[in-house]
Amino acid sequence: MRPLDLIHDWNPVAERDDAARPCRVVLNDETLRDGLQSPSVTDPEPEEKLRILHLMDALGIGAADIGLPGAGPRAKESALLLAKEIAREGLRVAPNCAARTMIRDIDPILEVSEAAGIPIEAATFIGSSTIRQYAEGWDIDRLLMHTEEAVSYAVGKGLPVMYVTEDTTRAAPDTLRRLYTTAIECGARRICIADTVGHASPEGTRALVAFIRDVVADTGEDVGIDWHGHRDRGFGVANAIAAWEAGAERLHATALGIGERVGNTEMDLLLVNLRLMGAIDNDLSRLPEYCETVARACGVPIPCNYPVVGSDAFRTGTGVHAAAIIKAEQKGDEGLADYVYSGVPAHLFGLSQEIEVGPMSGESNVVYWLTKRGRAATAEVVARILAAAKSSKRTLTEQEIESLLSS
* Spatial distance between the Cα atoms of 318 and 327, rounded to a whole number of angstroms: 14
Q: What is the mean pLDDT of residues 103-120?
A: 98
Of 104-118, 224-238, 330-344, 353-367, least confident by mean pLDDT is 330-344
The string of pLDDT tens digits covering residues 162-182 is: 999 999 999 999 999 999 999
Q: pLDDT per residue over 213-259, tens digit each?
A: 999 999 999 999 999 999 999 999 999 999 999 999 999 999 999 99
**pLDDT, tens digit (0-9, with 9 covering 90-100), for 282-307:** 999 999 999 999 999 999 999 999 99
pTM: 0.93
Residue 334: its pLDDT value, please? Answer: 75
At residue 10 the predicted structure's pLDDT band, cuts being 50, 70 and 90, is confident
Of 1-5, 253-257, 346-350, 359-363, where does mean pLDDT reach its minimum? 1-5
The values of phi and psi at residue 23, to 5°, are -70, -20
Is the confidence at residue 157, as pLDDT, over 90? Answer: yes
Distance CA 261, CA 301 (A): 16
Asked if the model's pLDDT at residue 2 lies above 90, the reply is no
Domains by residue range for the chain, with CATH: 26-298 (3.20.20.70), 315-406 (no CATH)
Pairing of strands 190-195, 315-316: unpaired
20 pLDDT band, cuts 50/70/90, is low
CB 270 within 8 A of CB 254: no
Q: Is the pLDDT of residue 1 over 80?
A: no
pLDDT in tens, 64-73: 999 999 999 9
* Cβ partners under 8 Å of residue 207, min gap 6: none
Predicted local confidence at residue 141, as pLDDT: 97
Q: Which residue, 234, 213, 254, is CA-closest to 32? A: 254
Residue 108 has pLDDT above 80, yes or no: yes
Average pLDDT over residues 19-30: 83
Report pLDDT for 18: 59
Local confidence band at 406 (pLDDT 50, 70, 90 cut-offs):
confident
Residue 14 has pLDDT above 60, yes or no: no
> Can you give the pLDDT at residue 200?
97
Q: Which residues pair with 250 in a beta bridge?
A: 26, 226
Rounded to whole angstroms, the maximal C-alpha distance in the chain is 82
Give residues with Cβ within 8 angstroms of 65, minimum separation 6. 28, 29, 30, 32, 33, 34, 95, 96, 97, 98, 123, 252
Give the mean pLDDT of the chain.
94
191-206 pLDDT per residue, tens:
999 999 999 999 999 9
For the cut 50, the answer to whether the pLDDT of residue 15 exceeds it is no
**pLDDT score recorded for residue 241:** 97
What is the reported pLDDT for 337? Answer: 87
